[in-house]
Amino acid sequence: MKALTFNVTVPNFLVLQVLGRVNRKFFYDGPFSTVRLVDVPEPGLPGSDWVKIRIKLCGFCGSDVNLIQVKDSPMASPFTSFPCIFGHEVCGEVVEAGSGAADFSKGNRVTVNPALSCVPRGIAPVCAPCAAGRPGNCEKVAEGGFSPGMFTGICKDIGGGFAEFMVVHKSQLHRVPDGVSDESAVLTEPLAVGLQAVLDNKPAESDRVLVIGGGVIGAMIVKAIRGLGIGCSITVAEPNSFNAEYVRRSGADHIVSGSIIEAAERITGAKAYKPMLGERIVQGGFEKVFDTVGHSPTLQTALIVTATGGTVSLVGIGNKVTIDPTPLWLKLQTVKGCYAYGINDIGGGPVHVFETALDLMDKKKIHVEDMLTHTFAIDQYRELIEVNMNKAGSRAIKTAIRF
C-alpha cells in the first residue's frame, strides 16, 4: 500500500537548517526531504485487542507541518521514533477486529484517539496520568511493547493515518454516530483538543475570554465554548481576515487585528501603564486567555493582558520562549500547559472528550464540516504541504488526504 512517511537524521537535520532557509521546498521535495511516498506492506494486527481500519480521511495538522520542517523541540525526541507513517486525525472503517476487540465489527465507522498510552503498550499497572483519566499525558510513551511515540503517527512500529490501512488498539477507537459525516468525523481530534483546553480552564458566564490565534485550534476553542452553552464574551486576536471572519461566524464577539493591549482596555475596561522602558503592563484584563500560538511575543502579551488571578492556557506548541515574568507574579496568574485529552465529567458521569466531541457534532451543537476546505489524494502530498505552508493565500482552514 502507498504510505506517506517521515524521517530525519542528524546529518539531514543539519543540512536542512541551511537549505530550508533558502527554500522551504527542500523539506518535502528533493534528496534531503523529510517526507516520502513509499510502498509498504499492509499492517497486520499486533494482538487480539487490536483493530484494523481502512482510512477514509486523514487530516493534516499544524504539528505535521512543524514535523516536516523539523521545527519541534529536540526535548520531545525521546518520545518519538522514525521512520514512521505519520497522520493522527483519522476517520475510517473497521475491516478486521481481533478476538479481544469484539465490540467492533467490520463496517463500523470510527475515529481514533491517537494517544499511545499504557494500555495500548501493554503496561500494567498503568501510570498515574492514565489512572487519572488522562492517557494522552501518559508517562510511559517511551516504554512497553513497541518503540517510543507519544501518539499514533510518530511511532515507527504503529503506522498513522497517511496510508490506506492502519492498526489501532480498541481503547483508542470511538464509533462515529450516523448523524456525523466523514468530513466532520475527521476533525474529531482537533475539536477534542479545543474542548479539552476549555474544560481544563472553563470560563464562567461572566468571564472575558481572549483567544490568541484564529486558526484551526483557535476556532475549535470558540466552537467548544459555544457548544458547551457558555455565553461569556469571547475576543479572538487574528490578523488574517479570512480566519477572522470564520471565527466570528463560529461565535466570537470581538475580533482584534491590531494591538491586543488596546483591545484589552477597550473590551474589558482595563488600564495600561507605560514603564520607563519596554512594553506597557495592564491592570485588569481578561480572566481566561488561550494562547494557540505559543511563541515568545504571544505568551508575553497573554501575561500582560490577563487579569489578576486569571489563567493563561498555553495551547500552541512553541520551541523556546523568552518572557518577562513580572505580570505572572504581580497579578498572581496561573499558566497551564494544554496537551492532548482525557476523561471528563461535565454532567452524567465520566466520558472521554472524543465522545463529547462526537455527541456535540451529532446534536448539531457544534458544526465543523465547513472547516474542511481542501482534500487531496495521497500522491498529491506536495501540493497538500504547499497549501498548508500558505494557508492565507490558499484560503485554507483545514486540509486532509482522502482515500
pLDDT of residue 230: 98
pLDDT of residue 72: 80
Is the dihedral angle over the CA atoms 303, 309, 314, 319 positive or is it negative?
Answer: positive
In DSSP terms, 254 is beta-bridged to: 235
Is the dihedral angle over the CA atoms 67, 70, 72, 74 positive or is it negative?
Answer: positive
> What is the C-alpha separation between 333 and 130, in angstroms, rounded?
28
Please identify which residue in the block is written with the cell numbers 509498504: 40
pLDDT of residue 119: 98
Q: What is the DSSP letter of 378?
A: G
pLDDT of residue 155: 97
Report residue 351 as a C-alpha cell: 466520558
One-character DSSP codes across 286-326:
EEEEEESS-SHHHHHHHHHHEEEEEEEEE-S--SS-----H
pLDDT of residue 61: 94
pTM above 0.95, yes or no: yes
Report residue 296 as a C-alpha cell: 515568545
CB 251 within 8 A of CB 222: yes
> What is the C-alpha separation between 381 and 25, in angstroms, rounded?
12
Task: Please report, for residues 24, 123, 163, 207, 307, the alpha-carbon distance to residue 142 in angstroms, rounded to integers and kept in the order given.
Answer: 31, 11, 24, 40, 39
pLDDT of residue 204: 98
Q: Is residue 68 packed enough to be buried (19+ CB in 10 Å), middle (13-18) or exposed (0-12)?
A: buried
pLDDT of residue 13: 85
Pick from 217, 227, 267, 205: which is nearest to 247 by CA? 217
CB 187 within 8 A of CB 112: no
Rounded to 10 degrees, the C-alpha dihedral 181/238/192/384 comes to: 60
What's the mean pLDDT when you consider all of the chain?
A: 96
Radius of gyration in angstroms for the set of CA atoms belonging to the chain, rounded to a whole number = 21
Separate counts of helices (H) and strands (E) for the chain = 14, 20
pLDDT of residue 80: 95
* Structural domains in the chain, sorted by start: 2-114+151-187+368-402 (3.90.180.10), 194-337 (3.40.50.720)
Given a cut of 70, the residues of the chain with pLDDT beneath it are none
98: left (phi over 0), alpha (psi -120 to 50) or beta: beta
The widest CA-to-CA distance across the chain, in whole angstroms, is 70
193: left (phi over 0), alpha (psi -120 to 50) or beta: alpha
Helices 216-227, 188-200: crossing angle, 10 deg rounding: 60
Residue type, 213: G
pLDDT of residue 197: 98
Is the dihedral angle over the CA atoms 305, 308, 312, 318 positive or is it negative?
Answer: positive
